[in-house]
């Protein structure tokens, strides 16, 4: 039995930085705090400090005079960009160390989210511009600051986005940047300090990574018991509540010069949401009266089921979000993600005669797989697709539309959190390779 490291069970608790009356802050300081701050606390070992600086000119020894410190989940691979999961707080401090008097009119911290599809006009659509006032000059004060100052800030990462002109809200999309896809989703944290004329404003901008909380529902009771016992999930005929069986597919074509037909029933484990880093359990039943077709095509090496990803976006995301662009103008990027691996089921199963073959299958989901995304101007969708057999062996009937690659498909969601209860137990190894397809 193969094993793999399960993805972490991300906590949705947050830590709110306190603001003490004794802090050496200007009396007219203004620090944003959530209206209803969460009460739970993130374990300190889950947090990583990220520091970013605004420095003096080289003539002043390049010394930092403004420092933005951000606390986030530690990125164990690079530890470079702050990383936030679900409703994690965007929390940190803004510190000034000013040696000579400096005019400061205001200080703000902003979280900005954008869909970027091109460098042309309309190719960048800002869907979040969450601006938090940290400090501002009041009344007749001259606004000249000198010495050291520190302001904490904390606000929850927005999980939903409102789009002007749309009646519903949409889940905030994940950070998305992949080679080969001409669209990306980018989040930035921006520190903005205004000084007034003639000095230009001081700005500091750093990218941050957002991963949404997507949690599958529980598996069926029989499947959960099997996972606890280290067994494969019972097949559909033993646990109907544990599976979704797609409509029967009749595959007709030629094998070694003569016509054959096979009936296929593909089943996906319920619910149709699966956590990356785990597996998608599958089951297939193949029936044919042709013994040669059964032996040649109804084998674990010939069954062709794939996980396929479709990314939809508009070249002008702003116009599309505003209902000015047509659905037909959406760009679709299609990519084969992973191929299912099959094995004979462990149980004897029903006595269906010599013309039926049944197999248990698994699609292994990489830990770094992008989760599903239902954001209007940028969508990431996944489908489990049944394809025809190897064309070098089996020639599909010309009655099938050659423009449609799949014979059957069903949408699934890819999550980031483990479901309640035990995780599925893999009994196969990932496929060695997948003939890549991208359009």
Q: Are residues 155 and 282 in the same domain?
A: no
Is residue 334 a part of any domain in this protein?
A: yes
**Which residue do the tokens 């606890």 mark?**
228
By mean pLDDT, which of 68-82, 215-229, 389-403 is the weakest? 68-82
> CA-based angle 113:110:377, to the nearest 5?
15
Q: Are residues 364 and 403 in the same domain?
A: yes
Q: Are residues 305 and 365 in the same domain?
A: yes
pLDDT given at position 64: 92
45 or 106: which leads in pLDDT = 106
Domain housing 113: 44-211
Is residue 360 a part of any domain in this protein?
A: yes
CA distance 326 to 106: 42
Last residue of a domain, one of 167, 185, 211: 211
pLDDT given at position 351: 59
DSSP state of 176: B
Q: Are residues 359 and 293 in the same domain?
A: yes
Residues 8-51: tens digit of each pLDDT: 333 333 333 333 333 333 322 333 333 344 434 555 556 888 99
pLDDT given at position 341: 95
The proportion of the chain whose per-residue pLDDT surpasses 70, expressed as a percent, equals: 81
329 or 426: which leads in pLDDT = 426
411-420 burial code (b ≥16 CB/10 A, e <16): ebbbbbbbbe
Q: Are residues 381 and 311 in the same domain?
A: yes
Q: What is the pTM of this model?
A: 0.84
Closest-CA residue to 373 (of 235, 210, 242):
210
The proportion of the chain whose per-residue pLDDT surpasses 90, expressed as a percent, equals: 60
Is residue 401 a part of any domain in this protein?
A: yes
pLDDT given at position 26: 34
Mean pLDDT of the chain: 84
CB 229 within 8 A of CB 257: no
Residue 120: CA count within 13 A, CB half-sphere? 10
CB atoms within 10 A of CB 319: 16
Q: Are residues 285 and 398 in the same domain?
A: yes
Question: Of how many residues is the chain composed?
Answer: 439
pLDDT at 364 over 90: yes
Q: Are residues 244 and 376 in the same domain?
A: yes
Is residue 300 a part of any domain in this protein?
A: yes
Residues 414-430: tens digit of each pLDDT: 999 999 999 998 999 98
pLDDT given at position 254: 93
Is residue 256 a part of any domain in this protein?
A: yes
235 or 403: which leads in pLDDT = 235
Is residue 372 a part of any domain in this protein?
A: yes
Last residue of a domain, one of 180, 211, 242: 211
CA distance 439 to 422: 37
The gap from C-alpha 142 to its chain's centroid, in whole angstroms, comes to 47
Q: Are residues 166 and 227 in the same domain?
A: no
Q: Are residues 94 and 195 in the same domain?
A: yes
pLDDT given at position 62: 77
> In this structure, what CATH number is given to the domain that contains residue 395?
2.60.40
Is residue 428 a part of any domain in this protein?
A: no
Closest-CA residue to 297 (of 308, 288, 309):
288
308 or 436: which leads in pLDDT = 308
Dihedral pair phi/psi, residue 242, rounded to 5°: -90, 0
Q: Are residues 165 and 243 in the same domain?
A: no
CB 315 within 8 A of CB 332: no
Number of folded domains that form the chain: 2
- Mean pLDDT of all residues in 172-200: 92
Last residue of a domain, one of 178, 211, 244: 211
CA distance 106 to 194: 5
Residues 266-294: tens digit of each pLDDT: 999 999 999 999 999 999 999 999 999 99
The three-state secondary structure class of 257 is coil
> In this structure, what CATH number is given to the domain that contains residue 62?
2.60.40.640
Q: Are residues 204 and 255 in the same domain?
A: no
Q: Are residues 330 and 371 in the same domain?
A: yes
Is residue 16 a part of any domain in this protein?
A: no
User: 348: pLDDT confidence band, cut at 50, 70 and 90?
Assistant: low
- Mean pLDDT of all residues in 156-169: 87
């Amino acid at each position: 039995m193969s094993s793999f490291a399960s993805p972490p069970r991300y906590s949705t608790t947050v830590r709110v930085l306190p603001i003490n009356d004794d802090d050496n802050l200007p009396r007219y300081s203004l620090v944003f705090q959530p209206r209803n701050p969460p009460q739970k606390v993130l374990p300190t070992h889950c947090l990583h400090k990220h520091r970013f600086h605004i420095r003096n000119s080289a003539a002043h020894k390049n010394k930092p005079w403004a420092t933005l410190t951000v606390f986030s989940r530690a990125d164990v691979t690079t530890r470079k960009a702050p990383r936030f999961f679900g409703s994690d707080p965007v929390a940190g401090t803004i510190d000034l160390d000013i040696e000579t008097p400096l005019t400061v009119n205001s200080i703000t911290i902003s979280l900005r989210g954008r869909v970027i599809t091109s460098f042309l006009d309309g190719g960048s659509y800002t869907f979040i511009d969450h601006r938090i006032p940290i400090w501002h000059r009041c009344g007749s004060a001259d606004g000249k600051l000198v010495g050291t100052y520190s302001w904490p800030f904390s606000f929850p990462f927005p999980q939903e986005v409102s789009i002007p002109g749309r009646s519903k809200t949409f889940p905030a999309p994940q950070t998305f940047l992949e080679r080969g896809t001409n669209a990306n989703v980018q989040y930035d944290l921006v520190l903005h300090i205004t000084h007034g004329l003639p000095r230009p404003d001081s700005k500091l901008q750093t990218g941050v990574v957002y991963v949404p909380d997507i949690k599958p529902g529980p598996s069926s009771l029989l499947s959960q018991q099997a996972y606890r016992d280290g067994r494969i999930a019972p097949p559909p005929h033993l646990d109907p509540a544990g599976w979704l069986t797609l409509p029967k597919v009749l595959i007709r074509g030629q094998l070694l010069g003569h016509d054959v037909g096979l009936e296929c029933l593909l089943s996906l484990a319920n619910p149709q949401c699966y956590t990356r880093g785990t597996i998608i359990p599958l089951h297939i039943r193949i029936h044919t009266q042709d013994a040669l077709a059964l032996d040649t095509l109804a084998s674990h090496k010939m069954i062709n089921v794939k996980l396929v990803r479709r990314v939809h976006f508009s070249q002008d995301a702003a116009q599309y979000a505003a209902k000015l662009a047509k659905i037909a103008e959406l760009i679709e990027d299609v990519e084969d993600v992973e191929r299912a691996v099959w094995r004979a089921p462990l149980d004897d199963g029903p006595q269906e005669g010599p013309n039926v073959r049944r197999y248990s299958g698994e699609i292994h989901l990489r830990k770094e797989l992008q989760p599903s995304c239902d954001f209007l101007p940028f969508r990431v969708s996944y489908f489990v697709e049944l394809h025809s057999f190897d064309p070098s062996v089996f020639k599909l009937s010309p009655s099938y539309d050659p423009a449609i690659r799949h014979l059957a498909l069903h949408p699934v969601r890819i999550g980031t959190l483990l479901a309640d209860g035990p995780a599925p137990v893999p009994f196969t190894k990932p496929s060695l390779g997948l003939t890549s397809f991208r359009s």
